[in-house]
């Protein structure tokens, strides 16, 4: 092989190697401008020909070519990564998790067993937690979310997501949803199309409905006075699923609404906004 032929040969080899390497390199080009907060949602425009997008080895929801990634409220600050396949190659995308200060909330309960349950009640709570974790781990086929999410209830917000909570001065986990106060019997509706994953009466949550909206998006509605759907029912957006009540651990009638995305409880307000952006809706157009 003469020198010219050898040079052309090695140029082609090096070029091919560079292309292969570029497909395997971490995609960090926009990491400096891509941020999320603990308990929030990271929205990422999915590159063409990409699939199997995962966060912490959990499948994430994709709506209108935008990945909506639930960030756990205990997520460490700093760089986090998504993994995905593109052209058959494993790739990663980096983004930054930045701090968010959540407020505190102190609640006084007359029923001390709602603060320190007895052994029999603790066993019931463990059994209920097992059933709930199985629902949050579901990844069902996608449904049409192009109409965004409506509010399940109009009322006065009494507790925001992320509150650090104290019951009778005893610290508990941060508030995992949004509390909306309304009179007992006020209708509660589905924010989007879903399958009813569970209808149950739980120790802390009282009469509860879980909805499965597909792709790991699960919503929960607690403290109801009545449930008006059954497990396995198919519901459409704005269809009634229950009535406001004061069952479980409460101080008055209200709805506790939680949103779980890829297995993590996230801020429902943030999710509504991110979903609206992803499907091209103005916030006003998804409010009832």
**Partners of residue 35 on adjacent β-strands:** 96
- Residue 29: CATH number of its domain: 2.60.40.1590
CA distances 126 to 36, 118, 137, 200, 204, Å, are 32, 12, 17, 15, 11
One domain, residues 205 and 67: no
One domain, residues 108 and 93: no
pLDDT digits (tens, 9 = 90+) for 62-118: 999 999 999 999 999 999 999 999 998 999 999 999 988 876 666 555 555 455 677
Whether pTM > 0.85 for this model: the answer is: no
| Alpha helices for the chain (secondary structure H) | 3-24, 119-136, 268-279
One domain, residues 66 and 170: no
DSSP 33: G
Pick the range with the lowest mean pLDDT from 112-126, 182-196, 240-254: 112-126
pLDDT digits (tens, 9 = 90+) for 87-96: 989 999 999 9
End-of-domain residue from the set 55, 82, 97:
97
One domain, residues 163 and 61: no
Domain range for 88 is: 24-97
Cβ proximity of 225 and 209 under 8 Å? no
Cβ proximity of 39 and 25 under 8 Å? no
One domain, residues 79 and 108: no
Residue 14 domain flag: no
pLDDT digits (tens, 9 = 90+) for 183-216: 999 999 999 999 999 999 999 899 999 999 999 9
Cβ proximity of 158 and 254 under 8 Å? yes
Q: 272: Cβ–Cβ under 8 A, 6 or more apart, which residues?
A: 148, 149, 151, 191, 283, 286
Structure tokens at 144: 């049409």
């Amino acid at each position: 092989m003469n020198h010219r032929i050898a040079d052309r040969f090695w140029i082609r080899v090096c070029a091919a190697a560079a292309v292969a390497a570029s497909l395997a390199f971490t995609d960090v080009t926009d990491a400096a401008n891509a941020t999320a907060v603990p308990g929030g949602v990271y929205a990422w425009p999915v590159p063409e020909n990409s699939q199997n997008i995962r966060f912490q080895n959990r499948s994430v929801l994709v709506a209108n070519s935008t990945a909506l990634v639930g960030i756990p409220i205990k997520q460490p600050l700093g760089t986090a990564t998504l993994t995905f396949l593109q052209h058959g190659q494993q790739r990663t995308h980096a983004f930054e998790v930045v701090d968010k200060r959540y407020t505190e909330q102190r609640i006084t309960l007359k029923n001390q067993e709602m603060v320190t349950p007895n052994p029999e009640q603790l066993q019931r709570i463990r059994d209920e937690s097992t059933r709930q974790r199985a629902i949050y781990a579901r990844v069902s086929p996608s449904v049409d979310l192009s109409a965004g999410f409506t509010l399940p209830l109009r009322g006065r917000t009494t507790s925001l997501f992320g509150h650090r909570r104290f019951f009778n001065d005893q610290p508990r986990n941060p508030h995992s949803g949004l509390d909306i106060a309304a009179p007992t019997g006020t209708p509660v509706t589905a924010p989007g199309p879903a399958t009813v994953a569970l209808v149950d009466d739980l120790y802390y949550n009282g009469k509860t409905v879980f909805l499965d909206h597909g792709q790991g998006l699960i919503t929960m509605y607690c403290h109801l006075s009545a449930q008006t759907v059954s497990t396995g029912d198919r519901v459409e957006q704005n269809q009634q699923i229950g009535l406001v009540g004061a069952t479980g651990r409460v101080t008055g009638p209200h709805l506790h609404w939680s949103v779980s995305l890829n297995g993590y409880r996230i801020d429902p307000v943030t999710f509504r906004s991110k979903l609206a952006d992803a499907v091209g809706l103005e916030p006003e157009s998804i409010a009832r």
